[in-house]
């Protein structure tokens, strides 16, 4: 029964959301200010469901309960049980996101009974001069940081980096960050919805008429004040090859550009595999059946799906697994 699976995305209103998920990625919704498309989610009360085939209507939790390691991979099932470890999104920021930070596994478990939130970004489109905030520009300590918050000069100590299509960034827990205006990206993260807002431009949410809550005390407890020489991930882009992108203890991701045919054998990968199409379109062939994937779409291969053929005139795929 287990074949490549597509899920129905969940569309999330965000104060900073735009319309690129509809106009660029062809998402089908009628709401305004949609900032996130949750492609594959096991977040409580936000579980995505299979859209077609014999398993139509199944949530991730139901798939794991029924198929266990056959779906997740035996090692993943042994580690996580019936919890799916990743949350997969596309994000469109019309205006900047709040300056924020995420806690690690231990802190999130103690305070929220949740996983921590290590994540990565792959830039799919960026307006001219669009940037992101990632990390600090110079060394500061907690006392200096709190002073910058009080006098609203915190943006002055952040590292701003202009971005373009194809740029990739790893955002480990503790690293301060924000997606800037005009950026659309693919996000891969641990299954967690825990975010500590540090600064939100004093803006008012039109749906509530209020400013959004800040979490400066929690943020200060989990912040990593180290300054890195570079925050961007360098990677190869060899055609028809799984080029190592970001490999962490929490997920692995590769950049897979396709022209022609690529045969993939996952018999040595004890994990589900997720494809996110970030450019073009492709066809996945499995057991003499075709599964189409277009830009802005996501497909999950259960762990028991080992041999697939990918075909495309010109596509770029993010290949994600545990």
Q: Active-site residue numbers?
A: 197
215 known ligand binder? no
Helix (H) or strand (E) holding 216: helix 216-222
Cβ 34 vs Cβ 11: under 8 Å? yes
- Tell whether residue 177 is among the known ligand binding residues: yes
Asked if 189 and 97 touch (Cβ cutoff 8 Å), the reply is no
- Alpha carbons within 13 angstroms on the beta-carbon side of residue 40 total 30
Is the Cβ–Cβ distance between 15 and 178 less than 8 Å?
no
- Collapse the DSSP code of 269 into the 3-class scheme (helix H, G, I; strand E, B; otherwise coil) and give the result: coil
Three-class SS of residue 219?
A: helix
Q: Reduced to 3 states, what is the DSSP secondary structure of residue 80?
A: helix
Quick one: DSSP state of residue 212?
P
Annotated binding site: 102, 119, 177
Binding residues for Zn(2+): 102, 119, 177
């Amino acid at each position: 029964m287990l074949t490549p699976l597509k899920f129905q995305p969940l569309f999330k209103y965000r104060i900073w959301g735009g319309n690129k998920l509809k106009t660029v990625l062809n998402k089908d919704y009628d709401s305004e200010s949609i900032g996130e498309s949750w492609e594959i989610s096991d977040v409580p009360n936000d579980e995505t469901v299979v859209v077609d085939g014999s398993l139509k209507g199944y949530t991730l939790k139901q798939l794991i309960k029924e198929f266990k390691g056959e779906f997740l991979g035996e090692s993943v099932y042994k580690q996580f049980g019936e919890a799916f470890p990743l949350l997969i999104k596309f994000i469109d920021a019309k205006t900047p996101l709040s300056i924020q930070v995420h806690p690690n596994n231990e802190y999130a478990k103690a305070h929220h009974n949740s996983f921590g939130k290590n994540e990565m970004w792959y830039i799919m489109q960026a307006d001219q001069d669009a940037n992101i905030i990632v990390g600090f520009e110079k060394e500061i300590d907690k006392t200096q940081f709190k002073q910058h918050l009080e006098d609203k000069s915190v943006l002055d100590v952040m590292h701003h980096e202009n971005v373009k299509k194809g740029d990739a960034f790893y955002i480990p827990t503790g690293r301060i960050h924000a997606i800037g205006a005009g950026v659309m990206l693919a996000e891969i993260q641990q299954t967690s919805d825990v975010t500590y807002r540090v600064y939100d431009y004093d803006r008012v949410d039109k749906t509530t008429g209020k400013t959004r809550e800040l979490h400066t005390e929690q943020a200060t407890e989990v912040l990593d004040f180290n300054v890195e020489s570079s925050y961007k991930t360098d990677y190869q882009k060899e055609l028809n090859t799984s080029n190592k992108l970001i490999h962490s203890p929490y997920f692995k991701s590769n950049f897979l550009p396709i022209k022609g045919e690529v045969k993939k054998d996952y018999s040595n990968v004890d994990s589900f595999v997720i494809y996110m199409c970030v450019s073009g379109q492709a066809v996945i062939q499995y057991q003499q059946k075709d599964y189409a994937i277009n830009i802005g779409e996501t497909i999950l291969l259960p762990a028991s799906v080992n041999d697939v053929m990918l075909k495309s005139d010109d596509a770029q795929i993010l290949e994600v697994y545990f």
